[in-house]
């Protein structure tokens, strides 16, 4: 009996690789044959899930977190000049937010822009942005500014992997409370996104998925013509999930 084990990460506890290994251990003990294929939905763990299929090498860069604290963050870069950047790596939650009443409003995605700009500087021709797990709701303005200050995308293609269908201005009420936003903060952030949408080259307000990562997906779609794609579909296709399922007796997800 062949059993495919393809979990996502268990947020805040175990990575997809750890979950898959634990399940595989139980399957082995029961006398069946496990095949592990750790997955991701376009948020944390996307670089790890695509590391094998895309032959990614990890590049560590000095950047900043959403509140301006210097940190080191990594992204993946392939020999074919495809980069994979997780928004959560630089612009996710961190200890710097603890005790800050304005954390949700002040959080910026600038640090993610530094990672994208570094990938382009190293010759990336296609940058895949995994948009899940952000702490910011700035419509991607921080990322856009960081990229433009460092010479722009230089004709590199952008793909944003989204795990939601939420639209740009709805990012604040839908996800703001998860990021520590009060009801007053949500109102402020919603107005800020609405104002930004009207000033961007293209209004992302009616685009499904544009609210991912606090609107970063919509901002990159508007300014850099980024393609928005389902993160789950992209990762599973890259990993050859359909082929693995075809030769499996059962599949365990999580």
In this structure, are 211 and 244 located in the same domain? no
Instruction: Answer yes or no: is pLDDT of 171 > 70.
Output: yes
Domain count of the fold of the chain: 2
CATH number of domain containing 150: 3.90.1510.10
Q: How confident is the model at residue 101 (pLDDT cuts 50, 70, 90)?
A: confident
**Residue 146 three-state SS:** helix
State the residue range of the domain holding 140: 41-238
Q: Is there a single domain that holds both residue 57 and residue 27?
A: no
pLDDT at residue 142 greater than cutoff 70: yes
Domain shared by 10 and 48, yes or no: no
One domain, residues 179 and 66: yes
How far apart CA 108 and CA 183 sit, in angstroms, is 19
Query: Do 166 and 251 share a domain, yes or no?
Result: no
DSSP per residue, 66-113: TTS-EEEEEEEE-TTSEEEEEHHHHHS--GGGTT-TTHHHH---HHHH
- The reply to whether 225 and 246 lie within a common domain is no
Q: 23 with 47, same domain? A: no
pLDDT tens for each residue of 213-248: 999 999 999 999 999 999 999 999 999 999 999 999
Total count of residues recorded for the chain: 254
Same domain, yes or no, for 126 and 194? yes
Does residue 138 share a domain with residue 244?
no
Q: Which of 73-77, 94-98, 190-194, 219-223 is predicted with the least confidence, judged by mean pLDDT?
A: 94-98
pLDDT (tens digit per residue) in 146-164: 999 999 999 999 999 998 9
Share of the chain above pLDDT 70, in %: 98
Helix axis angle, 110-121 relative to 141-149, nearest 10°? 40
The predicted pLDDT at position 195 comes to: 98
pLDDT at 95: 60
Domain check: are 128 and 180 in the same one?
yes
One domain for residues 96 and 200: yes
For residue 42, the model assigns a pLDDT of 86
Contacts of 45 (CB under 8 A, 6+ apart): 8, 9, 15, 16, 38, 39, 86
pLDDT tens digits, 110-137: 999 999 999 999 999 999 999 989 999 9
Q: Are residues 10 and 50 in the same domain?
A: no
Cα gap 168→193, rounded to integer Å: 7
pLDDT in tens, 22-59: 999 999 999 999 999 999 988 889 999 999 999 999 99
pTM of the model: 0.92
């Amino acid at each position: 009996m062949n059993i495919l084990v393809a979990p996502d990460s268990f947020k805040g506890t175990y990575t997809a690789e750890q979950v898959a290994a634990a399940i595989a251990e139980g399957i082995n003990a029961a006398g069946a044959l496990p095949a592990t294929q750790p997955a991701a939905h376009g948020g944390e763990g996307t670089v790890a899930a695509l590391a094998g299929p895309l032959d990614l090498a990890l590049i560590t860069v000095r950047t900043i977190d959403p509140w301006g604290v210097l940190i080191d963050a990594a992204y993946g870069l392939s020999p074919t000049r495809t980069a994979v950047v997780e928004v959560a790596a630089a612009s996710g939650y961190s200890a710097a937010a603890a005790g800050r009443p304005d954390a949700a409003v002040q959080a910026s995605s600038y640090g993610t822009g530094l990672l994208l700009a570094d990938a382009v500087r190293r010759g990336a021709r296609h940058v895949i942005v995994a948009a899940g797990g952000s702490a910011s709701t700035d419509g991607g303005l921080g990322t856009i500014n960081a990229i433009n200050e460092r010479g722009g995308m230089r004709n590199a293609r952008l793909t944003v992997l989204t795990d939601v269908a939420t639209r740009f201005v709805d990012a604040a009420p839908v996800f703001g409370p998860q990021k520590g936003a009060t009801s007053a903060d949500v109102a402020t952030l919603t107005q800020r996104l609405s104002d930004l949408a009207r000033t961007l080259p293209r209004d992302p307000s009616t685009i499904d998925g544009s609210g991912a990562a606090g609107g970063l997906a919509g901002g990159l779609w508007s300014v850099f013509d980024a393609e928005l794609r389902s993160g789950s579909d992209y990762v599973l296709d890259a990993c050859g999930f359909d082929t693995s399922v075809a030769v499996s007796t059962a599949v365990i997800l999580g």
